[in-house]
Amino acid sequence: MEIEKGITNDLECIQKKGKPCVFDSYVIFGDSTSELGKIVQKSQEKGIRFSLLFTSPPYYSVTDYYADQWLRLWLLGGPENPNRNTR
């Protein structure tokens, strides 16, 4: 019954605050080293301001996800050491 009370409280809060304000957004799939320059130029030309802009992953070749997950992979039968992925 505690879950129902929580959901009821959430619904009441949503009703009081009203519909959230949603802005137009879009995703750009590409290399951030070239795309960010295009975004900056376009924003300056059109006077666009950003409230949030992020890239994922933030920097190419900085994170080695294979090495980061070596323990999980080892538990699944992978190598015992966190070697860099050479694929």
What's the confidence (pLDDT) of residue 35?
Answer: 84
What's the confidence (pLDDT) of residue 45?
Answer: 93
What's the confidence (pLDDT) of residue 57?
Answer: 61
Q: What is the model's pTM? A: 0.37
DSSP state of 76: T
The predicted-structure confidence for 42-87, as pLDDT tens digits, reads as follows 889 998 887 777 766 656 566 677 777 888 888 888 888 877 655 5
First-to-last alpha carbon distance for the chain, in angstroms, is 52
Whether the per-residue pLDDT at 24 is higher than 80: the answer is: no
From the list 61, 36, 63, 60, the residue with the least C-alpha distance to 50 is 36
- Which residue in the block uniquely carries the two structure tokens 């300056």? 44
Q: Is 60 in contact with 52 (CB distance < 8 Å)?
A: no
Q: What's CA 78's distance to the chain center, in Å?
A: 28
